[in-house]
Amino acid sequence: MNAPIIQQQSVGSSTVPSVRVKSQYWKRAFPYYFMILPGLLYLLIFRYAPMFGLFIAFKKYSPFQGVWGSEWVGFDHFVRLFTESDFLLLLKNTLILNLLDVLVAFPFPILIAVLLNEVGRKYWKNSIQTIMYAPHFLSWVVIVGITMLLFRTQDGGINALLGSLGLNRIELMTDPHYFRFVWLFHNIWQGAGWGAIIYLASIASIDPALYEAARVDGASRLRQILHITLPSLKTIILIMLILRLGNFIDVGFEHVFLLQNPLNLEVSDVFETYIYRQGLVQGDFSYVTAVGLFKSVVGLVMVVSANAIAKRFGEEGVY
Amino acid sequence: MKQLSMGDRLFTFFAYTFLVLFTALILLPLLYIIITSFAPAKDYLTRGFFLIPSHWTLDAYQYLLHNPGFVQSFKNSIFITVIGTFINITVTSMMAYGLSESWIKGRSAVNFMILFTMLFSGGLVPTYLVVDSLHLIDTFWALWLPAAVAPFNVIVMRSFFASLPYELKESSRIDGCGEWRMFAKIILPLAKPAIATFTLFYMVGNWNTYFSAVIYLNDDSKWPLQVFLRQMLVINDERVGLLNEALYTYTPSARMAAILVSALPLLVIYPFLQKHFNKGMLVGSVKG
């Protein structure tokens, strides 16, 4: 499904307008540069300037001495991070959450797309899609808020129901045992339907003749999925997986932060919330910049190696 | 062969069941929130679990509308979303179009710069220091500018512009149409569905903005709705007050109503744009 666009691009480049005369090139190209400029300025100021700002990870930044005046401390902050007792906890929590997400939440959209493709009736398909996409438009504040309302000890809908049935009420938000489950469930609830779009579009581009031939040969629906649909989705699944692996050290600040409370810190504390707490709340700017740099480098290494591995196996990769 | 068709029927049954259950799982909490937001406060104290309010009332909504903090943050969110989305879509589509022509020199360098920001970032504090040094703290610009462009969206839109038939542009050039006029008269009308889709995406992002408001806005009169909602719903603060007003107490109905009011603008708009998402316009984009 990448093919058409790439083809069209190459068609475009084969009919390059005659730009041999320099002044003519600039006259024609000027509007394009002009349009690129605001976006380029944005990248330089808000994306690349902060990357240069990363050198404060090697300094002892103080607001009074400024970025330039602060003294250099080499790798002190990194040594502190790796020897900090919290480090292993942060790493463990981050890895467990990501592992759960990749193993359970990642396949969900694929499953939904494949099953949705089996739904023949247009009306059903459309209704299911409309409802399944909706949570994507709700913020984490709203989703966490709904969960808290439903599980209020006394009058929350689900706990009131459990109570009236004579069952134990669930302290969903304060009992640390539930944290990972709630987090994972939210991810699926919010993202699985929306995530299916990309796979649905991919399925739509499969040549119907393949299914036709399989039916003639007497292949069951399940076999058609196993031997036609899933193999056709292999490339896009791999691309999505590579992109996902690039985020393996990220958990998504807002969601975890909103679910976090002093009671579940032991399972909910991750690098992002740690950076927020130590940095913006406690003001230890240099140290958390070092933590952030560590996180960014790990992310970069993950995505580059996942991409390289994909290419080694003869797949396209992301870039 | 007969066995297989039996299997097929079972499989179809499984597919429907799974999808209907998943849909119900999404729908039921939302329906519960909607219905109970119309319940009088005393229902929660006296009735335990209930689905249908003892009588239908708009108390919760009236209560919210008379809360200056809620109203102010709602207005802030609308302002942030309208201006923010305008900036997003203008800068993104211009950049994407500018980069869509393969004969533009320096194009691949900028493309690489866009891709690289998706793989590596300066992180929270360095970005904060940049925003701080530009004196944007406590202004809405701190929400708009650092999030002006989502690099991924530029890449998707760029492939969209590049996929427009080249003959179209060539023939208008031959007819003597300037590049600017061509953009306005030919390209933009064709790009309407794409622009509509990305406008929606950016709107969602702006409306739901929370974290950047927490870090960049200390002044609570500038708080967007999400920050206000968090105080109200998640911190479980029974008495959230903004603007040094008298403290407000939120009943469960008022909380439900707040959720509904905050989710409504997007939930109302999106079905109208839904048809565009499925066209695969978004796909084929992962690759530059």
Q: Is A5 in Cβ contact with B159 (below 8 Å)?
A: yes
How far the first Cα of chain B sits from its last, in Å, is 46
The most confident of A36-40, B155-159, B252-256, B271-275, by mean pLDDT? A36-40
Residues B161 and B211 in one domain: yes
The C-alpha of B246 sits at a distance from chain A's nearest C-alpha, in angstroms, of 23
pTM given for the model: 0.87
B1 within domain boundaries: no
A6 within domain boundaries: no
Q: Is A149 in Cβ contact with B255 (below 8 Å)?
A: yes
Residue of B129, B210, B232 with shortest CB distance to A67: B129
B285 within domain boundaries: no
Separation CA A187–CA A256 (nearest Å): 11
Q: Is B234 in Cβ contact with A145 (below 8 Å)?
A: yes
Q: Is A285 in Cβ contact with B283 (below 8 Å)?
A: no
Range with the lowest mean pLDDT among A229-243, B43-57, B58-72, B134-148?
Answer: B43-57
Separation CA A160–CA A178 (nearest Å): 19
Residues A238 and A184 in one domain: yes
A77-91 pLDDT, tens digit each? 899 889 888 899 999
Cα Rg of chain A, angstroms: 25
Separation CA B271–CA B266 (nearest Å): 9
Residues of chain A found within 8 Å of residue B254, distances taken between Cβ atoms = none
Residues A86 and A27 in one domain: no
Question: Phi and psi of A72, rounded to 5°?
Answer: -80, 140
Domain boundary (A28, A57, A86) is at A57
Cα–Cα separations (whole angstroms), residue B10 to A121, B2, B17, B161, B227: 17, 13, 10, 45, 48
Measured at the alpha carbon of residue A222, what is the angle toward residues A217 and A226, in degrees to the nearest 5?
A: 90
Residues A285 and A156 in one domain: yes
Q: pLDDT at position A7, please?
A: 37
Separation CA A46–CA B151 (nearest Å): 12
A150-187 pLDDT, tens digit each? 888 777 888 888 888 888 888 888 889 999 999 999 99
Q: pLDDT at position B166, please?
A: 81
The C-alpha of A261 sits at a distance from chain B's nearest C-alpha, in angstroms, of 9
The C-alpha of B244 sits at a distance from chain A's nearest C-alpha, in angstroms, of 23
- CATH label of the domain that carries residue B232: 1.10.3720.10
Q: pLDDT at position B233, please?
A: 78
B286 within domain boundaries: no
Residue of B125, B163, B259 with shortest CB distance to A5: B163
Identify residue A293 by its one-letter amino acid code.
L
Residues B238 and B115 in one domain: yes
Residues B145 and B94 in one domain: yes
Q: Is A132 in Cβ contact with B23 (below 8 Å)?
A: yes
**pLDDT at residue B105 tops 70:** yes
Residue of B1, B98, B263 with shortest CB distance to A35: B98
Domain boundary (B60, B87, B105) is at B60
Domain tally for chain B?
A: 2
Average pLDDT, chain B: 84
Nearest CA in chain B to A301: B119
H or E element, residue B254: helix B252-277
What is the Cα A99 distance to its own chain's centre? 13
Q: pLDDT at position B246, please?
A: 45
Q: For residue B19, what are the domain limits?
A: 6-60
Q: pLDDT at position A219, please?
A: 87
Residues A240 and A152 in one domain: yes
Q: Is A146 in Cβ contact with B49 (below 8 Å)?
A: no
A225 within domain boundaries: yes
Q: Is B252 in Cβ contact with A50 (below 8 Å)?
A: no
Q: For residue A35, what are the domain limits?
A: 15-57
Q: Please list, in sequence order, all residues whose beta carbon lies within 8 angstroms of the beta carbon of residue A292, skipping any fewer than 6 positions away.
A: A54, A57, A275, B122, B123, B124, B125, B126
Residues of chain B found within 8 Å of residue A123, distances taken between Cβ atoms = none
Residues B18 and B157 in one domain: no
B216 within domain boundaries: yes
Q: What one-character DSSP code corresponds to residue A284?
A: -
Residues B118 and B164 in one domain: yes
Residues B52 and B185 in one domain: no
Which single residue is written with the structure tokens 């007497």?
A218
Domain boundary (A57, A89, A108) is at A57
Q: Is B180 in Cβ contact with A31 (below 8 Å)?
A: yes
B288 within domain boundaries: no
A257 within domain boundaries: yes
B43 within domain boundaries: yes
Q: With b meaning 16 or more CB within 10 Å and e meaning fewer, what string describes B146-169?
A: bbbbbbbbbbbbbbbbbbbebeeb
Based on the number of CB atoms within 10 Å of its own CB, is A209 exposed (0-12), middle (13-18) or buried (19 or more)? exposed
Q: Is B117 in Cβ contact with A133 (below 8 Å)?
A: no
Residue of B117, B134, B287 with shortest CB distance to A47: B117
Residues B106 and B29 in one domain: no
Q: Is A157 in Cβ contact with B32 (below 8 Å)?
A: yes
Residues A42 and A163 in one domain: no
Nearest CA in chain B to A284: B125
Residues B53 and B117 in one domain: no
**pLDDT at residue A217 tops 50:** yes
Domain tally for chain A?
A: 2
Residues B46 and B85 in one domain: no
Q: Please list, in sequence order, all residues whose beta carbon lies within 8 angstroms of the beta carbon of residue B154, skipping any fewer than 6 positions away.
A: A39, B92, B95, B96, B99, B114
Identify residue B80 by its one-letter amino acid code.
I
B262 within domain boundaries: yes
Measured at the alpha carbon of residue B156, what is the angle toward residues A302 and A237, in degrees to the nearest 5?
A: 45
Q: Please list, in sequence order, all residues whose beta carbon lies within 8 angstroms of the beta carbon of residue A203, skipping any fewer than 6 positions away.
A: A113, A114, A117, A229, A232, A233
Return the higher-pLDDT residue of B5 and A135: A135
Tokens representing residue A252 in the block? 């998504």
Separation CA A271–CA A257 (nearest Å): 11
Return the higher-pLDDT residue of A52 and B41: A52
B230 within domain boundaries: yes
Residues A38 and A98 in one domain: no
A3 within domain boundaries: no
Residues B38 and B86 in one domain: no
A51-108 pLDDT, tens digit each? 998 888 888 887 777 777 778 888 888 998 898 888 999 999 999 999 999 999 999 9
The C-alpha of A52 sits at a distance from chain B's nearest C-alpha, in angstroms, of 7
Residue of B101, B148, B229 with shortest CB distance to A32: B101
Residues B136 and B166 in one domain: yes
Helix axes A230-246, A285-312, angle to 10 degrees: 160
Residues of chain A found within 8 Å of residue B256, distances taken between Cβ atoms = 149
- CATH label of the domain that carries residue A132: 1.10.3720.10
Domain boundary (A57, A89, A109) is at A57
**pLDDT at residue A6 tops 50:** no
